[in-house]
């Protein structure tokens, strides 16, 4: 174990992990059985267009969510577009500013105006007061996000939307398999959208789904997913191609079948991290809201620079040099992305977004999931404690290494990864993503 800041990889030490650890490392529990299923799909001749595996996967989603309908799609961004059109949204839609950019961009892509509301500092989900302040006569819907699997304040949102005659569509990308007071995510609002991207709790390499209990909405979603075609010689709507093919559906089925084992792994890692966080000032593990049952997929912390001695971005760079690919999601906040940042004042931003601004500078995500052994979580915890204990020394070494290509204080002969190289590698990685 490293015991001195001189041993940190950012300053030339060997990385703590040879094989990089990622946030959302995808897991295939039984590749052999999945391969056998793929083989049978390839020989069947039906490769897409509402195939039998797709239908099985949709039935499995609906079973987990206890909803009437599940419509699987090629990804969640296209699912959000389809759901928005199926719900006939128009004008402005209120979204939290602290979310992955796809929530807002899915709307903007199809000509709707996202309007950004702030989030709650404790749960990171939509702040109701802030959302309410955004409502104008052009508002057609609210699109809250169950961020990190934290279920939004669904009852109050229902009441608000009912009283203001707004549609309510949830971005539930993070929350497959989560519950609130025993009600599975999928049953809230007019419809909910899941992501089955490779990094998600359940994944289909790429994928998404719309779930709803409304027959009419489900019917329109199915139609819009396949070009708006409604019969042999009838095209009744403008649709897109949101189809999920059979290989993705097979992956989704295998992922959904093994989800309970991932909850257990996430819980074990969380306990290890929680134990380390208790012994450090300035690093807080986000707690699960009362009544929430989470899939545990997101290990989210906030960094208080004053108390910890280093800021979030410094911690991310130092960890990455060690092979721990911590993430600084979501930075920047959506309102700082184009085209919103440069748009006319008041078009997308009309309320203070202070909590989003703070969180975008302080939130840190650490690896978890079955790919991470609890022993590795422990090792990451020890690294964080080393950073905390020697924060002043780390800051000094950091500023010394910034303009230096080869910096290794204890052994100048050893090749070193410098802060500059780490930042360069990060940029390359992100560009590749």
Q: Which residues are near a second copy by CB under 8 A?
A: 25-26, 28, 31, 34-35, 38-39, 42-43, 45, 47-50, 74-78, 81, 101-102, 105-106, 108-111, 197-198, 203, 205-206, 226-229, 231-233, 235-241, 243-248, 251, 331-332, 337-339, 426-427, 430-433
Taking the least distance from each CB to a second copy, the nearer of 235 and 392 is 235
Shortest separation between residue 245's beta carbon and a second copy, angstroms: 4
Identity of the residue, 36 or 274, whose beta carbon is nearer to a second copy in the bound complex: 36
CB of 34 to a second copy, least distance (A): 7
Q: Minimum distance between the CB of residue 228 and a second copy, rounded to whole angstroms?
A: 6
Q: Which residues, other chains included, contact 285 with Cβ-Cβ below 8 Å and sequence gap of 6+? A: 270, 273, 274, 277, 299, 300, 301
Strand bridging mode 229-231 / 363-366: unpaired
Report which of 347, 346, 311, 360 is spatially closest to residue 119, judged by C-alpha positions.
360
What count of Cα atoms within 13 Å lies in the side-chain half-sphere of residue 249? 26
Rama region for 323: left / alpha / beta (φ>0; ψ in -120 to 50; rest): left
Least distance between a second copy and beta carbon 205 (Å): 4
Q: 165 Cβ partners below 8 Å, 6+ apart? A: none
Report the residue number, 128 or 193, with the smaller CB distance to a second copy.
193
The Cα–Cα gap between 191 and 277 comes to 37
Q: Quote the least distance from Cβ 305 to a second copy, whole Å.
A: 17
Indicate the residue among 339 and 352 with the shorter CB distance to a second copy: 339
Give the C-alpha separation, 416 to 420, whole Å: 11
CB of 255 closer than 8 Å to CB of 196: yes
Q: Which is nearer to a second copy, 35 or 264 (CB)?
A: 35
Closer of 31 and 352 to a second copy (Cβ):
31
Taking the complex as a whole, the smallest distance from the CB of residue 422 to a second copy amounts, in Å, to 12
Residue 358, C-beta contacts closer than 8 angstroms, at least 6 positions apart: 121
């Amino acid at each position: 174990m490293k015991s001195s800041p001189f041993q940190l990889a950012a300053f030339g030490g060997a990385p703590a992990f040879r094989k990089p650890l990622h946030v959302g490392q995808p897991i295939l529990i039984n590749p052999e059985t999945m391969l056998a299923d793929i083989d049978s799909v390839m020989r069947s001749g039906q490769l897409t267009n509402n195939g039998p595996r797709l239908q099985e996967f949709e039935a499995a989603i609906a079973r987990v969510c206890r909803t009437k309908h599940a419509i699987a799609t090629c990804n969640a961004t296209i699912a959000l577009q389809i759901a928005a059109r199926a719900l006939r949204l128009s004008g402005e839609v209120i979204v939290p500013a602290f979310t992955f950019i796809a929530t807002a961009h899915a709307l903007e892509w199809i000509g709707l105006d996202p309007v950004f509301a702030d989030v709650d500092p404790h749960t990171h989900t939509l702040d109701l007061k802030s959302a309410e302040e955004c409502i104008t006569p052009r508002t057609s819907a609210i699109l809250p996000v169950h961020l990190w699997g934290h279920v939004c304040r669904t009852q109050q949102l229902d009441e608000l939307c009912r009283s203001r005659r707004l549609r309510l569509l949830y971005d539930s990308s993070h929350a497959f398999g989560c519950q609130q007071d025993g009600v599975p995510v999928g049953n809230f609002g007019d419809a909910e959208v899941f992501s089955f991207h490779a990094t998600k709790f359940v994944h289909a390499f790429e994928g998404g789904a719309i779930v709803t209990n409304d027959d009419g909405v489900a019917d329109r979603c199915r139609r819009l997913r396949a070009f708006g075609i409604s019969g042999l010689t009838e095209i009744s709507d403008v649709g897109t191609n949101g189809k999920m093919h059979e290989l993705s559906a097979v992956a989704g089925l295998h992922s959904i079948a093994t989800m309970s084992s991932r909850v257990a792994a996430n819980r074990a890692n969380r306990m290890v991290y929680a134990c380390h966080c208790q012994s450090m000032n300035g690093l807080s593990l986000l707690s699960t809201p009362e009544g929430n049952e989470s899939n545990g997929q997101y290990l989210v912390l906030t960094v208080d620079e004053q108390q910890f001695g280093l800021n979030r971005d410094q911690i991310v760079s130092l960890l990455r040099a060690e092979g721990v690919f911590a993430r600084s999601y979501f930075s920047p906040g959506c309102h700082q992305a184009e085209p919103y940042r440069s748009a006319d004042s008041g078009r997308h931003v009309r309320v203070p977004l202070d909590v989003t601004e703070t969180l975008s500078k302080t939130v840190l995500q650490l690896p978890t999931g079955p790919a991470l052994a609890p022993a590795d979580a422990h090792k990451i915890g020890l690294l964080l404690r080393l950073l905390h204990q020697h924060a002043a020394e780390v800051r000094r070494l950091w500023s010394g290494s910034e303009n230096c290509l080869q910096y290794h204080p204890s052994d100048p002969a050893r090749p070193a990864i410098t802060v500059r190289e780490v930042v360069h590698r990060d940029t390359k990685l992100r560009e590749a993503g």
